[in-house]
């Protein structure tokens, strides 16, 4: 019986670490044990976690300036100019004469090409300004910190628990094994001390 001490200690270490994991994620609602109220840390602190992650995403991970720089890059603008040019050509050759038949009598191919060329040049310089102005307005209306915080806070604690267990499955198992190994070593030390006494 005396030599079973390391195995009992290993079982206790496993159980204590399993209990620690359970208390980290569960219970979702406070449980009263006498005068003590126990609630899982993750469910209890979900609102604070949501707020902190929202702030992290809003300040550190998402930059409107970086997006604005990418979208107003002259090379990106040049990539969409052929589409704009085709749309203008279709407008000047088909839709404008239908809307204003008298105008089609005075506008020929060379005039259409000149108008199109001037409009494309103007739009090429105007697009970065339009995109930049649009993103400024979006940034004022879009509170990314708040959106992320609300989304995380709105996730059910049970779902967060399931995702955390799925994501950290290997680490949680290793934590339990660490408890068993620590308990086993403690049991061996206790047994050796008891034998030497």
- So what's the pLDDT on residue 29? 67
Which pLDDT score is estimated for 185? 95
SS3 44: helix
As beta bridge partners, residue 32 has: 37
Check residues 60 and 97 and name the one with the higher pLDDT. Answer: 97
Which position has the token pair 């239908």? 98
Supply the mean pLDDT for the chain: 83
Q: Enumerate the domain spans of the chain.
A: 2-58+157-196, 59-149
pLDDT range class, residue 102, cuts 50, 70, 90: confident
Residue 91 has, within 13 A of its CA and on its CB side, a CA count of: 9
**pLDDT tens for residues 115-158?**
888 888 888 888 888 888 888 888 778 777 888 888 888 888 77
How far is Cα of residue 115 from the mean position of the Cα atoms in its chain? Answer: 46
Three-state DSSP state, 32: strand
- Residue 33 confidence class, pLDDT cut points 50, 70, 90: low
DSSP character at residue 153: H
> Per the structure block, which two tokens stand in for 136?
């400024």
Phi, psi at residue 38, to the nearest 5°? -115, 130
DSSP H or E stretch at residue 38: strand 36-38
Query: In the numeric block, which tokens belong to residue 73?
Result: 């890059």
- 39 contacts 138 by C-beta, under 8 angstroms: no
Rounded Cα distance, 63 and 69, in Å: 10
| Residue 49 CA from chain centroid, whole number | 13
159 has pLDDT over 70: yes
The pLDDT-based confidence of 173 (bands split at 50, 70, 90) is very high
């Amino acid at each position: 019986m005396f030599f079973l001490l390391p195995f009992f200690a290993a079982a206790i270490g496993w159980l204590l670490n399993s209990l620690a994991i359970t208390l980290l994620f569960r219970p979702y609602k406070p449980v009263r044990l006498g005068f003590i109220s126990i609630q899982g840390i993750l469910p209890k602190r979900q609102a604070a976690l949501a707020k902190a992650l929202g702030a992290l995403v809003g300040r550190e991970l998402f930059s409107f300036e970086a997006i604005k720089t990418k979208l107003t890059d002259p090379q990106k603008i040049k990539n969409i100019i052929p589409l704009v040019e085709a749309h203008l050509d279709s407008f000047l050759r088909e839709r404008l004469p239908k809307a204003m038949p008298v105008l089609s009598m005075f506008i020929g191919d060379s005039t259409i090409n000149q108008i199109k060329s001037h409009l494309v040049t103007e739009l090429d310089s105007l697009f970065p300004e339009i995109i930049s102005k649009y993103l400024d307005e979006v940034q004022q209306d879009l509170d990314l910190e708040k959106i992320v915080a609300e989304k995380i806070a709105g996730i059910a604690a049970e779902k967060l628990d399931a995702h955390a267990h799925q994501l950290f499955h290997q680490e949680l198992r290793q934590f339990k094994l660490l408890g068993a190994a620590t308990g086993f070593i403690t049991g061996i030390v206790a047994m050796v001390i008891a034998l030497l006494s």
